[in-house]
A and B are shown apart, each in its own frame.
Chain A
């Protein structure tokens, strides 16, 4: 029977079609898979090292002019000068103080206003459009106003960071509350839980992933604004250091400062990941 089928088809089975067996039996070709990129842990450090090596090679062989970009070794030199002179600690202390106070206040206020918008009609109607109107304003543009309002000292710098982190936190918080599963709230009501208990035990834990996500964005914005704020009237601070280096065309110091900021950002992001892993362990 199978012989007659291949016979009548008249197509001689040749060596060109190895998947074809006698009787027309072929394995089904695989066509699924893909579209699922996975992180490969060693690629990122390898990429980083390769870039720095390439950069060093270019600098030491004259392909990259030291005016355009200082060699990595020079940047490292500037950085170790910064550490040895004890200035890194001083700059970091000034910057971190502003960052922590501004971000902590901004995030706390943001969560409070976000919860109010998420839970009550009047605050929702009052603040939601206001937040939408003020959020897109670059806070750097308001810095001169902040200086008039809060003084040229720490006040204006902290206020810039506070405003910068406040708005994304508000939006993330009420967004998280809006997305709470209605049926869980109904369950709470069906068991006669008090309003406070429903907010504390159902609504806030539900919104927590969104709030932590908002913190990630707010923290990055805070670091960006930190430098902007320190560019006016700051003696110490990573931003002040970067600005001074820029004015003096000391590009090695400039890059050392910028790298410090990048590391700061990575550390903050890592801390938030830790918080997520702890608070959202039920998701794992």
Chain B
């Protein structure tokens, strides 16, 4: 299933947040959206998944979601959004409970995603006992449990320290290699964008407009931390964003 965003504009009261956004997220690809803080990235991803209604423009699903998909558009949040009173297993079963599937299937789906995210030993642990990286792995497992068509990732690694971020990026790459999932990945971190994105969309400062779209042809698995080509792309992106970020920094939050 592809996602298509057409002529999307949005405003809160009189504050214009997004202007004329056009993005296509083709099946099996990761599209990263980068932009300075406050440029409307988070609003964009909330609009894409239907958590907010756009003022203008449309967001379309093209094609059918895969068989057995319980929740085609599935989020992974920056703050993990795990229920602290439920164990790892309970947090995953939460999103399966409302669906007409048997108890055995719920159990097997949970076991399956815990295995895929290497969390099987932590099934009965509360989120509080886990590190930030492990919490985000649980959130990823929860997202995989509903067999999504598109993963909507809202700064999924921004709450983690840089070592954990590296580890989880490797995890996401190997996950993509195995499953070829489709994703829209919002971040302000250019390194994440060049490591994980097949395509990087650069937004301007508020109101967010598309400044540039950069395709990166190197396969995800071959993108090494110290690759000079990635470094060049990252520098190019930074040059585009530098001025926007500088101005955005001086922008008033409620102006």
Residues of B within 8 A of A194 (CB): 98
Q: Is the CB of A183 within 8 A of B79?
A: yes
A193–B95 alpha-carbon span in the complex (Å): 7
Q: Is the CB of A282 within 8 A of B77?
A: no
Name the residue on B nearest A191 (C-beta): B95
Residues of B within 8 A of A192 (CB): 70-71, 98
Name the residue on A nearest B143 (C-beta): A191
Q: Is B57 an interface residue (CB 8 A)?
A: no
Residues of A within 8 A of B98 (CB): 192-194, 197
Residues of B within 8 A of A186 (CB): 51, 77, 81
List 15 A–B pairs whose Cβ atoms lie within 8 Å, in order of A's numbering.
A183-B81, A186-B51, A187-B81, A190-B49, A190-B51, A190-B74, A191-B95, A192-B71, A193-B95, A197-B97, A201-B94, A201-B97, A280-B85, A282-B84, A283-B128
Q: Is the CB of A191 within 8 A of B77?
A: no
Question: Contacts A184-B81, A191-B95, A282-B86 given; 14 further ones with Cβ under 8 A?
Answer: A187-B81, A191-B71, A191-B94, A191-B146, A192-B71, A192-B98, A193-B95, A201-B83, A201-B94, A202-B83, A280-B85, A282-B85, A282-B128, A283-B128
A197–B86 alpha-carbon span in the complex (Å): 14
Q: Is B75 an interface residue (CB 8 A)?
A: yes
Residues of A within 8 A of B86 (CB): 282
Task: List which B206-243 residues lie within 8 A (CB) of chain A.
Answer: none
Q: Which 9 A-B pairs have the closest CB atoms?
A: A187-B81, A191-B95, A282-B85, A190-B75, A205-B85, A282-B126, A183-B81, A192-B71, A197-B98
Name the residue on B nearest A183 (C-beta): B81
Q: Is A189 an interface residue (CB 8 A)?
A: yes
B17 CB, nearest partner CB in chain A, Å: 17
Name the residue on A nearest B145 (C-beta): A191
A197–B51 alpha-carbon span in the complex (Å): 17
A184–B139 alpha-carbon span in the complex (Å): 12
A197–B83 alpha-carbon span in the complex (Å): 13
Residues of A within 8 A of B74 (CB): 190-191
A84 CB, nearest partner CB in chain B, Å: 48
A244–B81 alpha-carbon span in the complex (Å): 58
Interface of B is mostly: loop
Q: Specify which of B51, B83, B94, B97 is in contact with A189 (CB 8 Å cutoff).
A: B51
B212 CB, nearest partner CB in chain A, Å: 29
Q: Is the CB of A184 within 8 A of B49?
A: no
B148 CB, nearest partner CB in chain A, Å: 10
A205 CB, nearest partner CB in chain B, Å: 5
A281–B71 alpha-carbon span in the complex (Å): 31
Kindly name the residue among B71, B75, B98, B146 whose own CB sees the greatest number of chain A CB atoms within 10 A.
B98
A194–B51 alpha-carbon span in the complex (Å): 14
Q: Is the CB of B71 within 8 A of A184?
A: no
Interface string of A176-202 (1 = CB under 8 A from B): 000000011011011111100100011
A283–B129 alpha-carbon span in the complex (Å): 10
Name the residue on A nearest B127 (C-beta): A282
Task: List which B39-91 residues lie within 8 A (CB) of chain A.
Answer: 49, 51, 70-71, 73-75, 77, 79, 81, 83-86
A37–B94 alpha-carbon span in the complex (Å): 40
A187 CB, nearest partner CB in chain B, Å: 4
A66–B121 alpha-carbon span in the complex (Å): 68
A58–B187 alpha-carbon span in the complex (Å): 74
Residues of B within 8 A of A184 (CB): 81, 83
A259 CB, nearest partner CB in chain B, Å: 38
Name the residue on B nearest A185 (C-beta): B81
